[in-house]
Structure 1
Amino acid sequence: MKVGLLRAVGVATAVYGAAVTAVPALLARPSGLVDAEGRTERATRTSLRPLAWRDAVSGLALAMAPEGPALRTAAYVRIAADFGDAVLLGVTLPGRDRKLAAVAVSVGWGALSVAGLLAGGRREVMTLPAAGPLQV
């Protein structure tokens, strides 16, 4: 596991999530979720804030979790959120280019967390009660 990479992804995600929570237009504009004048409707701002807060909190967990199972769990949560975003935004955003961009960004961030989990070459052995050794 590359702890530094996971921490960096966590910090970046936390900062971005906090910024979008405060200013939802940071996500709404590139996603095409604005009106003809480029304004973000109140309902859209309201809908984006919980998503952004989820990113802020899960990023903070990834940045601060102790190394080991807690950090791995935080990474799994971040990966699930990023790949879930890729699927949902890829299906629902307006316009093919915006869909492709959202999928690329979401998969890219998720892939960084996957790389952080898989990198390092050292495999840990976890022993489960009555189940014997399990390679993880």
Structure 2
Amino acid sequence: MRVALLRAVGVATAAYGIAVTARPRLLAAPSGLTDEQGRTGEHTLISLRPVGVRDAASGLALALAPEGPALRTAALLRIAADLSDAVLLGATLPRPARAKAVAVSVGWGALSLAALGTRPAPAARKGRRFPR
């Protein structure tokens, strides 16, 4: 597990989530959820705020969870959120925004998955004894 990378993903996700909660247009515009004048409907803005809160909470969990099972669980939660975003947004967003949204969601999920699955070299593992 690459803890520093998971922590960095957590901090970035939490910051983005806080920003989207405060300004949901940050997610609405690149997702194609605007009209011809670039405006986003009030109902859409209201609906996007919980996504920001979810990302802030899961990002903070990833950034702050103790190393071990708690961090692994936080990473799996973040990966599940990213992959569900890819599936749901890919199926429902307006066509011009779909590919970008899927690519971003899959990219973040893959980054977390790679960090979760990477193990340090045996010599770097502290406190573990290996059979000789």
Give the alignment's TM-score, normalised by structure 1: 0.87
Q: Distance in 2 between matches of 1:15 and 1:121?
A: 28
Q: CA deviation at 1:122?
A: 5.7
User: Identity over the aligned pairs, expressed in percent?
Assistant: 67
Letter in 2 for 1:113: S
Aligned length: 123
SS of residue in 1 equivalent to 2:46: helix
Residue of structure 1 in register with 2:49 after alignment: 49
Post-superposition Cα deviations, 1:69-125, rounded to whole Å, max 9, x if no partner, equal 000000000000000000000000001x3111000000000011101111124689x
Q: Is the Cα–Cα contact under 8 Å of residues 2 and 120 in structure 2 kept in the other structure?
A: no
Moved over 4 A (4+): 121-124
Post-superposition Cα deviations, 1:7-54, rounded to whole Å, max 9, x if no partner, equal 000000000000000000000001110122111111001000001110
Residue of structure 2 in register with 1:9 after alignment: 9
Residue of structure 1 in register with 2:22 after alignment: 22
Listed as ranges, the gaps of 5+ residues in structure 1 are: 125-136
Please tell me the root mean square deviation across aligned C-alpha atoms, in Å.
Answer: 1.4
Listed as ranges, the gaps of 5+ residues in structure 2 are: 126-132
Q: Distance in 1 between matches of 2:17 and 2:52?
A: 4
Give the alignment's TM-score, normalised by structure 2: 0.89
